[in-house]
Chain A
């Protein structure tokens, strides 16, 4: 289903509350500016710069009517990037209508869904396509068209998803950093399904909390969000072509919260045309509260990711250990510091990151993110980022 159809649904909905008196409307959102400083010029052509500036805006419009039983959210997103035309992009993060019943909810439109419990990667989080150009942390996703019926039962919450239409991954352009040597040419994208990106995907999830356990299980059938890449020659130039295959996947996620300990695990089994495989992400987190008689909390975490396909896997953590530490200062400015390192046991490579955040005044937030890459073996895909160590300073204004 295309965006125009969704906008039509949205406008249709808007007419409904126009009659009623009790319509609530709210605008909020953020505007941001960021500057990225690289330690070196990039190793590939058209990457001969050390700084980049970018601006983004993400407002949110919210309408509620029918005594709160119906609501509509519209959240567009727009980014303008100094260097990379592909990173300058727009998206409708959310345009969705939610109707509440007694013990059910129907959510229709472009939406974002999160599944999972671990920190370094979320294998079970399959609904949305990642908006890769926004950052390496995979926290930014493209709005996914869906009809989602959610039932609340005594034995847990069951979600049915019908996903009409697929969102292709975003790719860094020729002038962008943190990319492979070859650029993905999105005109060449192909699909296993004869319906291309119109294939209707299906998903089912059950989740429940019992005592100290939070459990989730899912089944998904449809277009794989992660493509397979092949290098092709196009007009005498080497480019990457993305191919999206059809997959069927089942998985579970589990967290046990015991005193200051969090035990986390995500496991998936995927059936696809190339090779069936399982993958897991297991971890533990412990928090020291009020360290050194201050109000600062220190959380330490350790995770291990394993993919049965080994080096052939297109996952970040195919045989990797992640270690992290999080400092929450619990001050008025909500200052926090997160440091992590992912060590690849197959390639002996390290990816280090430090993220710090602090509120300035009432409505501003300053974040600093630094990443450094050290590559053990050149076969590691991480070697593409070898000269991309950077510091990114972001200032967001919330309204």
Chain B
């Protein structure tokens, strides 16, 4: 081995050490951010999506109530998604439709169409923590995951239903969020959020969401067929069954305006 080669290998070795040292020095905050960002990046590029939601609401006594909703969603680069939700059940709200332009910064734009009056109402989007259709899902639980909406902290790795999981704590940046924090279990293989614990503003465990029966679409995007939300404080629960997922429908921004809201059905 000549001197030159030796020097190179020493240099390379120290360089390697330096990089691995950086990786080692990554704070829990940075690691939590990186994992969450990776889960977002892996789901980028789905462009548009159609899906049907069937919600079964259960109270403490086990009484059930059903909600059926169809959704159209458009991915928007560098901003939140645009979505149009159409209500089929309960029947008294059939034809009611909800248009939302979510934003990574600032308030979302939301309109509600009331078919009996043929009226489109712009509504305040501040109500993130309110229940969606009387269910245990709040509006923010159903909103698209945007990296800017939280700050992060990596907690640990542990075995979970889908192998090994990163456990990351996420703190909402929005003062109107109903949560102080949430703890998310993300599987190491595919970066799917398989379980979330929600802590209320007083830092008590409020709800647990678990996602089941993941299927992969377009060879990339993982979607759960079933989401179960349990409210530990009220004893109520909601099962959200997803069906008819369809990607690549050629939707564009022109499918999301007040005219499409009024004729949505």
Contact of A297 among B65, B127, B258 (CB under 8 A): B127
Say whether A150 contacts B92, CB under 8 Å: no
| Complex interface: chain A residues within 8 A of B258 (CB) | 157, 207, 209
C-alpha gap A359/B65 in the complex (Å): 11
What band does the interface of chain A fall in when counting residues whose beta carbon is under 8 Å from B? 35 or more
- A102 vs B250: C-alpha distance in the bound complex, in angstroms? 13
Partner of B129, one of A71, A117, A289, A399: A289
Which listed residue (A214, A255, A333) contacts B134, Cβ 8 A?
Answer: A333
Contacting A at CB under 8 A, from B94-152, are 94-95, 107, 109, 116-120, 122-127, 129-131, 134
User: Are B109 and A209 interface neighbours, CB within 8 A?
Assistant: yes
Residues 249-273 (chain A) with a chain B CB within 8 angstroms: 255, 257, 259-262
**Chain B residues with CB below 8 A from A100, complex form:** 263
**Chain B residue with the shortest CB-CB distance to A259:** B126
Q: Which residues of A contact B109 (CB under 8 A)?
A: 209
CB closest chain-A residue, reference B257 = A152
Q: What chain A residues lie within 8 Å of B243 (beta carbons)? A: none
State whether A214 touches B122 (Cβ < 8 A).
yes
A28 to B91, CA, bound (A): 8
- Say how far B227's CB is from chain A's closest CB, in angstroms: 18
Are A330 and B130 closer than 8 Å at their CB atoms? yes
- Once A113-B118, A209-B258, A362-B65 are accepted as A-B contacts, the answer to whether A398 and B123 lie under 8 Å apart by CB is no
Q: Is the CB of B259 within 8 A of A157?
A: yes
CB-nearest residue of chain A relative to B120? A114
Q: Which residues of A contact B126 (CB under 8 A)?
A: 259-260, 287, 289
Does A62 sit at the interface, judged by CB under 8 A?
yes
> Which B residues are in CB contact (< 8 Å) with A334?
90, 92-93, 134
Q: Which residues of A have CB within 8 Å of B53?
A: none
Q: Does B66 contact A (CB under 8 A)?
A: yes
Is the Cβ of A359 less than 8 Å from the Cβ of B122? no
Q: How far is the CA of A260 from the CA of B94 in the complex (A)?
A: 27
Closest chain A CB from B112 CB (angstroms): 12
A311 at interface, CB cutoff 8 A: no
Q: Which residue of A lies closest to B89 (CB)?
A: A362
Say whether A326 faces chain B, with CB atoms less than 8 Å apart. Answer: no
Contact A363 B124 (CB under 8 A): no
B69 → chain A closest CB, angstroms: 14
Contact of B210 with A by CB under 8 A: no
CB distance from B165 to the nearest CB of A (A): 31
CA–CA, A331 and B107, complex, Å:
25
- B254: CB under 8 A from chain A? yes
B246 within 8 A of A: no
Residues of chain A within 8 A (CB-CB) of B211 are none
- Please indicate the chain A residues that have their CB under 8 angstroms from the CB of B89 in the complex: 362
If A28-B94, A152-B259 touch, whether A259 touches B107 (CB-CB below 8 Å) is yes
For residues 201 through 222 of chain A, which have their beta carbon under 8 Å from a beta carbon of chain B?
207, 209, 212, 214
Question: What residues of chain A lie closer than 8 Å to B130, measured between beta carbons?
Answer: 289-290, 295, 297, 330
Within 8 A of B (CB), among A35-72: 62, 71
A105 within 8 A of B: yes
Contacts of A295 in B (CB 8 A): 130-131
Point out the residue from A152, A297, A332, A363 that lies within 8 Å of B91, measured CB to CB.
A363
A98 at the interface (CB under 8 A from B): yes
Specify the chain A residue showing the minimal Cβ separation from B201: A293
Q: With an 8 A cutoff between CB atoms, is B84 at the interface?
A: no
CB distance from A209 to the nearest CB of B (A): 7
CA–CA, A113 and B117, complex, Å: 8
Say if the beta carbon of B265 comes within 8 Å of chain A.
yes
Central interface residue in A112, A214, A257, by most chain B CB within 10 Å: A257
User: Sorted from nearest, which 3 A-B pairs have the closest CB atoms?
Assistant: A398-B91, A332-B134, A114-B119
A residues neighboring B (CB under 8 Å):
28, 30, 62, 71, 98, 100, 102-103, 105, 112-114, 116-117, 139, 150, 152, 157, 207, 209, 212, 214, 255, 257, 259-262, 287, 289-290, 295, 297, 330-334, 359, 362-363, 365, 396, 398-399
A-B CB contact pairs (8 Å), 24 listed: A105-B259, A105-B263, A112-B118, A114-B120, A116-B119, A209-B109, A214-B122, A255-B122, A257-B122, A261-B124, A262-B124, A287-B126, A289-B129, A290-B178, A331-B134, A334-B90, A334-B92, A359-B92, A362-B65, A362-B91, A363-B90, A365-B92, A398-B94, A399-B91
Q: Name B's A-contacting residues (CB within 8 A).
A: 57, 59, 65-66, 89-95, 107, 109, 116-120, 122-127, 129-131, 134, 178, 254, 257-259, 263, 265
Using A150-B259, A362-B91 as known contacts, list a sample of 6 further A-B pairs with CB atoms less than 8 Å apart, ordered by residue number in A.
Answer: A116-B119, A139-B117, A157-B257, A289-B129, A290-B178, A331-B134
